[in-house]
């Protein structure tokens, strides 16, 4: 039996967040408008909640987006995942419009 203990497994991961902007009338891909870890991530989430912006949680996607810089367009490899996010946002918006009607 191994006595090796991997300390990396117990390392606390700081929360990460990213914000995207996309204009469906534009032919450009979505753009990263905010990205951060720790307190910055918490601020991104707080501002989104205050402004009623839908929040979509996907740890893998946020890790990929956290490697990008603000004003970067999302890479082609993330198009299908971001399309799922946009579909979620449209569903949330439609449900909100139906409630407010």
Would 1 be classed as within a structural domain? Answer: no
Would 91 be classed as within a structural domain? Answer: yes
Rounded Cα–Cα distance for residues 13 and 34 (Å): 19
Q: How many residues does the chain have?
A: 101
- Render each residue's pLDDT in the chain as its tens digit; 101 residues: 456 555 555 555 788 999 999 998 988 999 999 999 999 999 999 999 999 888 999 989 999 998 999 999 999 999 999 999 889 888 888 887 888 76
Query: Domain range holding 82?
Result: 14-100
**CB-based contact 62:18 (threshold 8 Å):** yes
Domains in the chain, number: 1
pLDDT of the residue at 50 = 97
Would 5 be classed as within a structural domain? Answer: no
């Amino acid at each position: 039996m191994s006595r090796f203990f991997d300390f990396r497994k117990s390392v606390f991961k700081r929360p990460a967040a990213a914000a995207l902007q996309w204009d469906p009338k534009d032919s450009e891909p979505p753009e990263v408008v905010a990205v951060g870890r720790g307190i910055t991530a918490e601020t991104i989430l707080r501002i989104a909640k205050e402004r009623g912006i839908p929040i979509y949680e996907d740890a893998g996607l946020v890790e990929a987006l956290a490697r990008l810089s603000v004003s970067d367009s999302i890479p082609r490899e993330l198009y299908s995942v971001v399309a799922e996010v946009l579909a979620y946002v449209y569903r949330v918006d439609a449900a909100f419009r139906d409630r407010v009607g």
